[in-house]
Amino acid sequence: MSRWIDVRKNLRSFRFAADGIIALFRFENNAKIHLLAAVAVVIAGIWLRLDRIEWAMILTQVALVWAAEAFNTAIEKLADVVSPERHPQIKAVKDLAAGAVLLVVILAVVVGILIFGTKLMEWLERTGWF
The tens-digit pLDDT sequence of the chain (130 residues) is 457 889 999 999 999 999 999 999 999 999 999 999 999 999 999 999 999 999 999 999 999 999 999 999 999 999 999 999 999 999 999 999 999 999 999 999 999 999 999 999 999 999 998 7
Q: What pLDDT was estimated at residue 2?
A: 59
DSSP string covering 47-72, please?
HTT--HHHHHHHHHHHHHHHHHHHHH
Q: Domain spans of the chain?
A: 7-127
Catalytic machinery residues: 69
- Binding residues, by number, are 28, 69, 76, 85-87, 94-95
CA distance 15 to 29: 23
* Residue 87 identity: H
CATH fold for the domain made of 7-127: Helix Hairpins (1.10.287)
For residues 18, 20, 24 and 25, what is the CA-based torsion angle, rounded to 10 degrees? 20
Residues 6 or more apart whose CB falls under 8 angstroms from that of 40 comprise: none
- Binding residues for substrate, by number, are 69
- Spatial contact of 97 and 75, defined as CB atoms under 8 Å apart: yes
CA distance 13 to 72: 20
